Every structure is written in structure tokens, then in C-alpha cells.
Amino acid sequence: MAEPPKGLEILQASYGAQGATQDVTKEVQKLIKNGSLSFTVGAQSFGILDPAPGVKKTFQANVSLNGAPATLFTKDDGEQMVVNAPTVNPDDAPKSPGNQVLGVFWYFLVSLIGSFFVFCAYYFGTYGLKSSTVGLVFAGIVTVATIAFGVAESAAGPLGLFVFVLGVGLFQATTVFLVCLFNPDWIDFSYAKKQVEEVAQAIPAIV
């Protein structure tokens, strides 16, 4: 992922008079606070010795604001140098059309996979455990998990999606295992057999 543009960056800075200038780039960089630069031009501000005593001196700096091309700032002794450029939040930066398309595809994929697991959870509770209330509870849990993952892990990529599928799948598998461990007769697996048969019958028609 590309590094977000810095708010204010001092590329080069100098202070002095003609024939007697000193590089103060590092000194000026230390004066940046919270994306802002404010100081009175003078040797004391930079913490250096006067490079040309008794002569009027000039401060010059090439400054980049939020990753834009450098701008030259020029100030004389005693003048105030003020530049404000708070760091851009990556979430607030404009997104390219390509990133927008990927974002839409991501949410579509998560919604598709999540809908499948919601359907499975509802059917298991309603027909497997013979309780529509349990089916709605299971479906609600998976729905909340899907929404939370889609929003929080939009930058996780394929690995994050794999972890999501694995996690939801293990949740449902663990639920079946615990119920079977307590009382296997509580689950009516005939509903699953019926669904498989319907899918198997539909495949030849599609092909």
C-alpha cells in the first residue's frame, strides 16, 4: 500500500546572506509541530551561530504541502514564517475509480458469502433443530459478523476473506458438534438431505 502524502515536508532550507549561507533543513524540520510551521526568522530560531554578523540575512525554503510539488518560501530577518498543512488522513483522500470498483466488488463478495452462511444458519436452526426462533438467532449472529467483517476488514484482502469464511464455518460446525454431543436426536438431518437432492436434480437442467 502506498504511503499517504505527508502534510508538510521541508525539502531544503537555507539561511544567510549572499556568499555566507548555511543549510538549516534539519533545524527547520524540527520546528514542524502537528503539520504546522511557525517561527520568527533569525539565527536563534534555528539554534545556530549568525552566519553573517551585521548583515541582513534571508531565509529560503522549498516546502511540499500534502505531497504537491515544492513551493519556494522567502523571508527576511525578523519576519514571521507560517505554513499550515495538516497531514491528510488516508481515509479522507480521494479514491481512484479502480479502488472504488475494488471496494464495490469486495462488499459484493462478502455479502454473497455472508448470505450463504446466513441461509445455512437459518435453515439449520429452523429445520434441523425445528425452531424458527433458533434459526433467526443463528442467522442474526452470522449477519452481524458479516457486516462487522465487511466494514472493518475492507483492506484485509483474500487472507482476511479466508479467515472470515473459516471462522463462520467453524462457528456452525462447532454448534452442530455441541448439539450432537449433548443429544444427537435434537437434530433432524433429513432437511439437509432434501436440499442436496434438490441441488443434484437441478444440476443436469442447468448443464
What pLDDT is stored for residue 118 in this prediction?
86
Q: How many C-beta atoms lie closer than 10 Å to residue 125's C-beta? A: 20
Torsion of CA 52, 56, 59, 60, to 10 degrees: -100
What is the extent of the structural domain holding 193? 97-206
Supply the pTM of this predicted model: 0.43
Does 183 share its domain with 116?
Answer: yes
End of a domain among 84, 111, 137? 84
How many Å apart are CA 100 and CA 95, to the nearest integer?
Answer: 6
C-beta of residue 23 within 8 angstroms of C-beta of residue 14: yes
Q: Compute the chain's Rg from CA coordinates.
A: 32
Does 68 share its domain with 115?
Answer: no
How many Å apart are CA 120 and CA 146, to the nearest integer?
Answer: 14
The count of structural domains within the chain is 2
Average pLDDT across each block of 10 residues of the chain; the chain has 207 residues. List them in order. Answer: 63 92 94 90 93 93 89 94 72 60 75 83 80 85 80 62 76 79 73 60 57
What pLDDT is stored for residue 4 in this prediction?
44
What pLDDT is stored for residue 151 in this prediction?
66
End of a domain among 50, 84, 118? 84
